[in-house]
Amino acid sequence: MDMHVRPARFEDQGLLLELWERSVRATHRFLEDKDVVALRPLVAEELASHEVDWWVLISSEVVIGFLGFISDKIEALFIDPDYQRQGGGKFLVAHAQSLSASTLAVDVNEQNEAALRFYMMLGFSVAGRSATDGGGRPFPILHMKRATVAAPESI
């Protein structure tokens, strides 16, 4: 699949919010409908934030995913359910790595076993755990870091 990344634009916010909700409903099975409904305005506010660098993943002129990045950390990575398992997530992680000045980090919901396996497959390991999410909700978070690969020594 041919993909490229571009910076998100103001007019992408509504589309990204819809993509977030479709993705979360497909992958975060531990969340109830009331949880998704409660999180939606918080995600909308975050998408409007200028503190996070937002990147949009495009394939065939269709937005299929997005990435939130700040200070060597993936703040958000979501792929449209219709495009999952086609390399978009790996593509966005590679983009985040290209933006990172050091070790790349990500927080993952402990109950999202597929995401945990995905990040571990890409070289991330668990560096810590929080019993609640950033909003104090009862969704444990695993703090993960990507192992850095040392450059080969010159001969």
Residue with tokens 């409007």: 48
Kindly indicate the confidence band of residue 101, based on its pLDDT and cuts at 50, 70 and 90. Answer: confident
The pLDDT mean for the chain works out to 92
pLDDT digits (tens, 9 = 90+) for 5-53: 999 999 999 999 999 999 999 999 899 999 999 999 999 999 998 899 9
Q: List the beta bridge partners of residue 109.
A: 141
15 φ, ψ (degrees, to nearest 5): -65, -40
Question: Is the pLDDT score of 124 beyond 50?
Answer: yes
Summarize the confidence of residues 107-133 as an average pLDDT: 95
**Distance from CA of residue 9 to its chain's centroid?**
18
Q: What is the pLDDT of residue 150?
A: 46
pLDDT digits (tens, 9 = 90+) for 51-77: 999 999 999 999 999 999 999 999 999
Q: What pTM, to 2 d.p., does this model score? A: 0.90
Pick the CATH number of 4-146 from 3.40.630.30, 3.30.2270.10, 3.40.50.2300, 2.40.128.30: 3.40.630.30
Write down the H helix ranges in 3-154. Answer: 13-27, 33-47, 88-99, 113-121
Nearest CA among 111, 98, 113, 103 for reference residue 145: 103
Task: For residue 152, give the H/E element and its range.
Answer: none
Q: What is the DSSP letter of 148?
A: P
